[in-house]
Amino acid sequence: LQLLGLVLAARGNLVEAADLTERAIEIGGDNPAILNNLGEIRRQQNELAAAETALRRAIELAPKFVEAHYNLGLVKKSQELLD
């Protein structure tokens, strides 16, 4: 499900990508890589609060996960632009 979600996101089908990625989390439990993917999909959907939640959970589980830190920075930057 996770890989299919990534393919759909790359093709711009963000709603279905988010749905599949959330299902992957429900089935497999909290996985930092999947949470990071969900955070990035939510950021692309401009659902910044949901993106931040997923990314903070990924970082909580894997504090040295650089990509999740980077993506959280992108979310925070987007939030600043909206303020």
pLDDT tens by residue, 4-37 = 999 999 999 999 999 999 999 999 999 999 999 9
Give the separation between CA 81 and CA 28, rounded to whole angstroms. 35
pLDDT of residue 2: 84
Cα 41 from Cα 72, distance rounded (Å): 12
Residues 6+ apart with CB under 8 A from 24: 1, 2, 5, 31, 34
pTM of the model: 0.93
pLDDT of residue 53: 98
pLDDT bin (cut points 50, 70, 90) of residue 82 is: confident
User: Residue 44 has what pLDDT?
Assistant: 96
